[in-house]
Structure 1
């Protein structure tokens, strides 16, 4: 009887122990200089970074089942936080559970984040450099780094940035970029769509390229600024204020071309083009599409 009783108790206790192991809590704090650097790595789950006004990093969350440990290395100038998986290749990683990490970091600390399928969410930082590399996880950022470099393969990008230098690359994910952007923007994707909305600033240089996705840009242009939009089969739309000053031209092999105040010239054979001047023509604008449409719209 007693053996049966203890056996009946053992199963719930084992289940509770397994659940506790699967949800190993994270609660760590490390010093980091206000302008130090922190590298963060996680394969699956979530990486959330929030800025605060303390010279330290607080790490909280839960480690996934099957994760070997959370590695924290470095010093006050450079800290590394990485989820470590058992040795044995990607098979062991696939069997492990997701790790959820929340990091509070100094507002001006530089950030480098690497993720495979973990979603990345960054808010409030004003780093000199913000670097994010993700494979299949989505990336959301609301921050003011001086320079932002964000690469993704299949995840979507939702970026609100107040930055002077932005480089965004994606393969099949859609990207939305908006904010006070007054320097250089370079956006590129293969099959994803690109949407760029510059708020309250005049861009100095903007380049957006896609193969089969659409590009939709709304911005003002700084004096002697440059905008280049290119697509193979996607559509291009550039919306500018009526006081824009630039030489503008567009070209398409088989798509439709439109531009405010412009008569599009049809070539002998396939293709069409236009060339015009807005204002005193100090800037330079070029749109090039192969089979997609391209339009410049003054609003």
Structure 2
């Protein structure tokens, strides 16, 4: 009798376990012109560029998600993990019962991708030529690609960039930014995250932080502009000896030191300013902090 009563319960548990690990195996024709949108709340997303004219999706679908499908009309395709009984993806982000989904996506190297995740980790590898856009809340983002246009918005998740981004726009609230291969145009912004970046030569570079420290190394293009603004975060900038720019730096209460020119102390109260010309003075470099220290170094 006891065994008979337990059989339905055991069957339900087995079915639930199977649903929690539903394998994914999808394929769709794709090309270098393909633009793929991906959304996932929990779990992980891995995007990999390859040399086939095909979009392939593998992984595991989380419990409580609708069957996954590739939708849209070429060249615009969509891959969205959606919950059962919810009207929108944003509604699902508040569902604590949703199981994590793992997506492993292969697509042509020159394709473009637009990824939205909440607490899912994200990695993008092997993209070469396509634009990349990412929106994430707490998941870590790692990108190893060559792209003409990169835009990443994150709240607490860190951003790690390898490869090369010709035009990069990276923003976080508390997540760190590691970007050693920035191209000739970049915009970096954080509230409390640490920024370590390098690259160039930059035609246009802007960086803004509230309390996060900054370490930046790179060259300025002929006639380029570089601007750094910090509230309490410390700033360290390394420039090559052949830099050509007008340099202006100031801090209200922080310490200012430079291998180029001699900072002047304020006549009344704390703070320092520096105005000097490096080389031919073709470009412009402006650094301003409130209480953060500033170090400008010769990278030779």
Superposed pair shares fold, TM > 0.5: yes
1:183 aligns with 2:187: no
Residue by residue over 1:123-148, the C-alpha shift from the partner in whole angstroms, topping out at 9 and shown as x without a partner, is 01024311000011111100011100
- Note if 1:121 corresponds to 2:123: yes
1:207-246 pair list within 5 angstroms: 207-246=206-245
User: TM-score scaled to structure 1, two decimals?
Assistant: 0.93
Aligned counterparts of 1:124 and 1:33: Cα–Cα separation in 2: 15
Tell me the residue number matched to 1:172: 174
Matched residue, 1:292: 292
Task: Please give the residue correspondences for 1:1-299 in structure 2 after superposition, counting only pairs within 5 Å.
Answer: 3-6=1-4, 12-88=10-86, 89-90=91-92, 93-179=95-181, 181-198=182-199, 201-270=200-269, 271-299=271-299
Question: Closer, same or farther in 2 for the Cα pair 1:67/1:244, shift >3 Å?
Answer: same
CA–CA separation in structure 2 for the residues paired with 1:194 and 1:29 = 39
Could you tell which deviates more after superposition, 105-114 or 161-170? 161-170
Aligned residues: 294
Closer, same or farther: CA 119–153 of 1 in aligned 2, 3 Å: same
Q: CA deviation at 1:212?
A: 0.8
8 A Cα contact 1:58 1:103, kept in partner: yes
SS in 2 for 1:69: coil
RMSD: 1.7
Work out whether residues 116 and 136 of structure 1, in 8 Å CA contact, stay in contact via their aligned partners in 2. Answer: yes
In 2, Cα distance between equivalents of 1:188 and 1:91:
25
In the superposition, the TM-score normalised over structure 2's length comes to: 0.93
Using a 3 Å threshold, how does the CA distance of structure 1 residues 92 and 243 change in structure 2: closer, same or farther? closer
1:124 and 1:143 in contact (8 A); partners too: yes
In the alignment, structure 1 segments of 5+ residues that lack a partner are none
